[in-house]
Amino acid sequence: MTDKHTDHAAHTEHTGAARLGEHGEYAEHGGHESHGGHVEHAAGHAGHTAPTAHEGHGAGQSLTRQAISATLHCLTGCAIGEILGMVIGTAAGFHNLATVILSIVLAFFFGYSLTMRPVLAAGIPFRQALKVALAADTLSIVTMEIVDNAFVLAVPGAMDAGLSSFLFWASLLASLAIAFALTVPVNRWLIGRGKGHAVMHAYH
């Protein structure tokens, strides 16, 4: 009897240990699966974060390119008016103030004219096209005109130099380059808020 009880106890202990081992292994295996799930979930979050940062950087670059393009467009009209005004004023012997005013008027005229061309070509009435040009270019042209005229006036002798003078042309070209550099961030700020040249997207 004693041997039978002993064998039975040993068998029960062995079976319990085996089951415990199975459950332990199962629990351990389940723990690994759960841990793997957490890792995959975290990796998923990391995967979502990276493209967002990349997209934001790409959007910033696109916005800067749009601002540069808008400023080059504005610079073209302003440069035509500015140079023409300075040449006419200097050749005609106008006073400095009259020359500056003429240059500003012509800069606005050519700046708005270039902006209105594609709008009018799209079949928009003149009055509406003018409103679009005013909304698109006014702040940009104002910034550019303030900067380039202030620079030319600040250069000693630039306004009194003749058309054949290196100082006249160097100061004028330098003023336009500086005005361009300072107007780009203005246009970037406007376009980023759906203003300025952003209103022109429907007509390109």
Q: What is the pLDDT of residue 198?
A: 79
The pLDDT tens digits for 117-126 are: 999 998 999 9
CA distance 136 to 139: 8
pTM attached to this predicted model: 0.68
User: Between vectors from CA 202 to CA 201 and to CA 204, what angle results, nearest 5°?
Assistant: 65
User: Between vectors from CA 31 to CA 30 and to CA 34, what angle results, nearest 5°?
Assistant: 85
Name the burial class of residue 58, with classes exposed (0-12), middle (13-18) and buried (19+) by CB atoms within 10 angstroms of its CB.
exposed
- Could you give the C-alpha distances from 193 to 53, 75, 83, 135, 197, in angstroms and in order? 20, 21, 32, 13, 10
The pLDDT tens digits for 174-202 are: 999 999 999 999 999 999 998 888 777 66
In the chain, which stretches have pLDDT less than 50?
Answer: 1-51, 53-54
The pLDDT tens digits for 31-40 are: 444 444 444 4
